[in-house]
Amino acid sequence: MFKKILIANRGEIALRIIRACRELGVATVAVHSDVDAQALHVRFADEAVCIGPAPARQSYLHVPAIIAAAEITGADAVHPGYGFLSENAEFASICGMCGLDFIGPTPADMRRWGDKVSAREAAREYGLPLLPGTDVLRDADHAASEAARIGFPVMLKAAGGGGGRGMKIIRTADEMRRLFPQAQQEAIVGFKNGNLYCERFVEEPRHIEFQVLCDGKGEAYVLGERECSIQRRHQKLLEEAPSVAVSPELRVHMAQVISNAMKKSGYRSLGTLEFLMAEDGSLSFMEMNTRVQVEHPVTEMVTGIDLVTEQIRIAAGEAPSFGDMLASDSTIMPRGHSIECRINAEDPVTFAPWPGLITEYHPPGGAGVRVDSGVYGGFRVPSHYDSLIAKVITQGRTRAEAIARMRRALSEMIVTGIRTNITLHQRILAHPDFVSGKLSTRFLERMG
């Protein structure tokens, strides 16, 4: 096991990693920008190093400063969390060259699965179901021709990233020619990679993702699925596990398909394979995330497995600790139901970010409630980073119980001094379509 891990991140995920390290008996190093000097991850880590001013490119994305902090403090591994450098293969390579273990997959796997076009090629090679799509598109005319071949409408996507940037729904050849340059420019700005591809567009899909944990020694565990259909502009807002749309039979089938694919690929570490579910219930591979996900707690709640701890154990060359929990077919069936609401510092109507001083903060508690947060009363939410300030997670024996607990938890939560999206989550939880499980990625659009 590692002796000291530097956490190249901030906020709630940095705290989450610190907690896992503490239980493993591993010392931690926090890095922070100057505006995060009083952040909780700085307070709770064993050591802390300021790596630069507020802008992320001068601190949390500044690789030389992070490597220097690791060398100065004697860290032997780096955990990137999510966002920032977590899927940057070059950063992982630099860590290796500097004698630091990168807690994640190999740089080669990050490159293969991180590029959406090569990920589609890998999915095809390893037998994962795919939507009709294209390779990298040369230009707008080529894109229009390929879109006509696979059938309009299509989704135009950036090969090098996600989060909705560079994504366009295209319904005609003229629309493709008009929007292709715009999408390409967004991709260049967002990912420094202007490559685009397209795949058939599903009008009202569900977004279903499967959690995998691979030890790199021939074992690949599929730890169930998450429903992530509640989104705004392709950004997830509320997630749950399991999905009401996935039957036990489909769950076991997909676990076998995904496990076989991951074994063939030789992948190591945590990973999430994301799928679109059409109205007929068919699943099609969309992309893979080679890191811990924001929504990982709902899987932890229904499996009883600490995903971050297992990720660290595998990076250290140790075997997963949950072998006694596996069924005969090497799958883990969910126990009960869990829901996560992302609490953001933003206006609940306009979604405009709302940084500022939190004057009062009271997280909810009680049976079946977990809160992962990096803020406190008196903390000033910076304007330079993601607006996520807390994740409220509930668990119940049934989905109805998990919903009831989330409603109760959100009614108890107090955050003053800034605006949050708590009321939006309360509206979602009260909506008849959500209660009945009638979900799609256009849920918020339909809700109005």
What is the distance between the alpha carbons of residues 198 and 156, in angstroms, rounded to a whole number?
Answer: 4
What is the distance between the alpha carbons of residues 88 and 93, in angstroms, rounded to a whole number?
Answer: 9
**Checking phi first, is residue 281 left (phi over 0); if not, alpha (psi -120 to 50) or beta?**
left
Q: Which of 112, 291, 342, 419 is catalytic?
A: 291
What is the distance between the alpha carbons of residues 80 and 184, in angstroms, rounded to a whole number?
Answer: 28
Could you give the angle at the alpha carbon of 292 between the alpha carbons of 88 and 193, nearest 5°?
30
C-beta separation of 278 from 200 below 8 A: no
List the structure tokens of 256.
């076998």
Contacts of 39 (CB under 8 A, 6+ apart): 10, 11, 32, 374, 379
Q: Tell me which residue of 79, 49, 48, 41 sits closest to 373, measured CA to CA.
A: 41
What is the distance between the alpha carbons of residues 139 and 150, in angstroms, rounded to a whole number?
Answer: 17
178 annotated active-site: no
- CA distances (Å), origin 16, targets 110, 133, 175, 388: 23, 38, 44, 14
DSSP string, 3-49: SEEEE---HHHHHHHHHHHHHHT-EEEEEEEGGGTT-HHHHHSSEEE
List the structure tokens of 173.
């050849």
Strand 337-344 to 235-241 pairing: antiparallel
Task: Name the amino acid, one letter, at 165.
Answer: R
**Other C-beta atoms within 10 Å of 84: how many?**
20
What backbone phi and psi angles, to 5 degrees, belong to 86?
A: -65, -25
On the CB side of 147, CA atoms within 13 Å amount to 29
Q: Would you name the residues annotated as active-site residues?
A: 291
